[in-house]
Amino acid sequence: MRILRYKNKRETIVLAALADDERVYDLPHSDFMELVYASEREGKPTIQYVKDLIAGQEPIEEAFDELQLAVPIAAPEVWASGVTYEKSKDARNYEATAGKLDADTFYDKVYEAERPEIFFKSTAARTIGPGQPVYLRSDSDWQIPEPELGLVLSKSGKVLGYTAGNDMSCRDIEGENPLYLPQAKVWKHSCAIGPVILLAEAVDDPYSFDLACRIYRADEKVVEGTANTKQLKRRFDELVEFLARDNELFDGTVLLTGTCIVPPNEFTLKEGDRIEIEISSIGVLNNPVKKQESKIPTAH
Ligand code: DO4
Ligand code: MG
């Protein structure tokens, strides 16, 4: 069972369920967390609560792929884990050492360390949903999407659901100096999530999601990569435990779990590209790429 938000004929954003038979049912709750709270009040797992709600109800007329989707949750915060897959460690080493991969870097150390890399990625205002453009930074010449599984968390750190995420990244800025990480990771429209939230109760094994990333330029596929969450070096409960340690979490926080798909080193995103991030049982997060319309003049 998957939960989504879409704009209906009255131009109102509404919450809905996408059932296993691919039919869409409107839900009488304003957002994902309201749905979770309502299921808790009834003492039912959210998946059962939704099944009971839609039983005997007519699906909406439109098919899922005809809907104008919105971001599935206005996550108050998006955090991200890094260097959780060997592929990411190797890519970070490449950008930090100008290709001299034999250096013993911070990335090698964090890959092996007990404490994972966790960084602040986005706020609700910076996070976009399916179909909306991710923006390019104006001061980077080496930008890539990072396709990642996202955990949707409660304030107690419980995994409520799974979504797909794009941790847009500037390899040149981070490679110049890891202290520039916030600038390499956080800017307007630098984070996309969606298209839906797959309820956690519907997932038997979260270490078996297939991920794929495809990048199209002028309708031609220029990048394609695949991965599986079984390649993760970390466990999700370990990442959540470190995120929550001495911290305050908010309901609906999203934690991205790191990338295992990195485009070839010579690749950088360009305006007009289109990014597809697909995760099995979740669906395809589709975003065009745009240049940022900068309102702030640069210093030089
Ligand atoms: O250290 C940089 C971040 C790495 C990252 O975002 C990832 O591995 O997904
Ligand atoms: Mg990442």
How do residues 167-212 score in pLDDT, each as one tens digit? 999 999 999 999 999 999 999 999 999 999 999 999 999 999 999 9
CA–centroid distance, residue 37 to ligand 1 (Å): 33
Residues 275 and 131: their CA atoms lie apart, in Å, by: 10
Q: What is the mean pLDDT of residues 100-126?
A: 90
Mutate to test the pocket of ligand 1, among 120, 169, 186, 229 (most ligand atoms within 8 A of CB): 169
Hey, what amino acid is at 112?
E
Q: What percent of the chain shows pLDDT beyond 90?
A: 88
Tokens, residue 71: 């971001």
Phi (first) and psi of residue 72, to 5 degrees:
-70, -25
Q: Show the ligand 1 pocket: residues with CB < 6 angstroms.
A: 80, 82-84, 88, 92, 117, 146, 167, 169, 174, 258-259
Closest atom of ligand 1 to 169 CA is: 6
- Per-residue pLDDT of 136-146, as tens digits, reads 999 999 999 99
Question: Within a 10 A sphere around the Cβ of 201, how many other Cβ atoms?
Answer: 16
- Per-residue pLDDT of 200-231, as tens digits, reads 999 999 999 999 999 999 999 999 999 999 99
Paired residues of 18 in beta bridges? 2, 24
Closest atom of ligand 1 to 80 CA is: 6
CA–centroid distance, residue 32 to ligand 2 (Å): 24
Tokens, residue 34: 């309201």
CA–centroid distance, residue 258 to ligand 2 (Å): 4
Band the pLDDT of 294: cuts 50, 70, 90. low
- Per-residue pLDDT of 148-163, as tens digits, reads 999 999 999 999 999 9
What is the reported pLDDT for 297? 60
Phi (first) and psi of residue 127, to 5 degrees:
-95, 135
Phi (first) and psi of residue 159, to 5 degrees:
-80, 115
Closest atom of ligand 1 to 84 CA is: 8
**Structure letter (DSSP) for residue 59:** P
What is the reported pLDDT for 98? 79
Band the pLDDT of 292: cuts 50, 70, 90. confident
Distance in angstroms between the alpha carbons of the first and the last residue of the chain: 52
What is the reported pLDDT for 296? 61
Taking every pair of C-alpha atoms in the chain, what is the biggest distance, in angstroms?
Answer: 64
Strand runs labelled E in 19-61: 24-26
Residues 282 and 197: their CA atoms lie apart, in Å, by: 7
Query: Phi/psi class of residue 287: alpha, beta or left (left: φ > 0; alpha: ψ in -120 to 50)?
Result: beta
Q: What is the mean pLDDT of residues 277-290?
A: 98
| pLDDT over threshold 80, residue 118 | yes
Whose CA is closest to 134, among 6, 276, 265?
A: 276
Pick 104 or 129 by higher pLDDT: 129
| pLDDT over threshold 70, residue 295 | no
pTM of the predicted model as reported, rounded to 2 decimal places:
0.96
Residue carrying structure tokens 């870097």: 105
Q: By three-state DSSP, how is residue 252 classified? A: coil
CA–centroid distance, residue 83 to ligand 1 (Å): 5
Closest atom of ligand 1 to 89 CA is: 8
Atom 9 (ligand 1) nearest CA: 258
* Mean pLDDT score of the chain: 95
Whose CA is closest to 74, among 181, 157, 167, 152?
A: 152
CB 143 within 8 A of CB 171: yes
Question: Within a 10 A sphere around the Cβ of 208, how many other Cβ atoms?
Answer: 12
